[in-house]
Amino acid sequence: MQISQELSLPSMGCGTWAWGNQLLWGYDQSMDEQLQAVFNLCVSNGVTLFDTGDSYGTGRLNGRSELLLGQFTKDYQGVGKNNICIATKLAAYPWRWTRQSMIKACKSSAKRLGRNVDLVQMHWSTANYAPWQELGLLDGLADLYEEGLVKGVGLSNYGPKRLQHVHKKFAARGVPITTVQVQYSLLSTYPVTQLKLKDVCDQLGIKLIAYSPLALGILTGKYSEKGSLPKGIRGLLFRQLLPGVRSLLECLREIAEFRNKSMSQVAINWCICKGTIPIPGAKNVEQAQQNIGALGWQLDSGEITALDQAAASTDKKMVQNIFQTQ
């Protein structure tokens, strides 16, 4: 049975990738109550799109992010409950290569969530390293829509050429592509400025979701060259990037001060003004409140131009996802 109801997506979502990373690198169950508060705050303020993935929380915590999201959805009883939209991404693991493996994976996600998935997405394309594997996975993705198990299907880390190829394949089956999700921020404009992905999405009627809109936190203004940096690989990356993004951060700071907003709110609002759906992560109520503050107003054309120019002049850019296709 095919679901004819259109999948409606709000202007901004809350990406649970931050929860996934937290689970992966050392999950603490004491965080559950705090994350429930984050979820409640977001939904009560009209942020009802939650993006997760079946690979968020691996090993002994396999699927933990979906389990938590399902629990939070069930326990929430406030305004907007009926508008909650759950999007999950199915990983293209090496052992997944048939259409049935995708159907099974989505059913497992639904079981963890305690409800059907609204938007199911291919987490990444295998076109860069095993194009043969993707054939069955895409067929399974379309099957999920045709069988009425999901309201919409989407892709992640796909460029315009690969997107057009999949769109043609799906259109032949009458399966619309609802969304495409890519890394997009003031420090990662490559998918839009160079690949022209937004233009193709607009032509095909597909909504563009922007993950990591705060560039892992660099655009929040929290970190500086002389200050403390995150540990591990993230800290090494920041140490390389920060000297080359001074002018961009200064531009963000000036606009934020003029608007009486935070730098992160300006950075997220820029993504919204570009016609995308940003999905910033939030691990605590303070971060969630910051994200929500990006809604209900818009940068003017002069501010957008200033940020565009500052972004274009930066010496460093965020490293692109290795799975991003052309």
Provide the token pair at 14: 């809350």
Taking residues 291-313, report their average pLDDT.
Answer: 97
* Digit-coded pLDDT (tens) for 77-96: 999 999 999 999 999 999 99
Q: Sort residue 282 into left (φ over 0), alpha (ψ -120 to 50) or beta.
A: beta
Taking residues 156-168, report their average pLDDT.
Answer: 98
User: Annotated catalytic sites, by residue?
Assistant: 56
Measured CA to CA, the distance from residue 37 to residue 196 in angstroms comes to 38
> Residue 227's pLDDT is what?
85
Contact in structure between 108 and 70 (CB atoms under 8 Å): no
Taking residues 23-42, report their average pLDDT.
Answer: 73
Q: For the chain, what is the mean pLDDT?
A: 90
Taking residues 233-254, report their average pLDDT.
Answer: 95
Give the residue extent of every domain in the chain: 13-218+265-297
Residues contacting residue 308 through CB under 8 Å, at least 6 positions apart: none
> Residue 16's pLDDT is what?
45
Enter the CATH code of domain 13-218+265-297.
Answer: 3.20.20.100
Taking residues 33-51, report their average pLDDT.
Answer: 93
Taking residues 115-139, report their average pLDDT.
Answer: 96
Provide the token pair at 259: 């608007």
Of residues 16 and 18, more confidently modeled? 16
Taking residues 241-249, report their average pLDDT.
Answer: 95
> Residue 303's pLDDT is what?
98
Q: Which of 20-29, 131-140, 204-213, 268-277 has the lowest mean pLDDT?
A: 20-29
Quick one: what percent of the chain has pLDDT higher than 70? 90
* Digit-coded pLDDT (tens) for 253-294: 999 999 999 999 999 999 999 999 999 998 899 999 999 999
> Residue 4's pLDDT is what?
28
> Residue 17's pLDDT is what?
36
- DSSP for 9-46, written as a single string: --S-EEETHHHHHHHHTT--TTHHHHHHHHHHHHHHTT
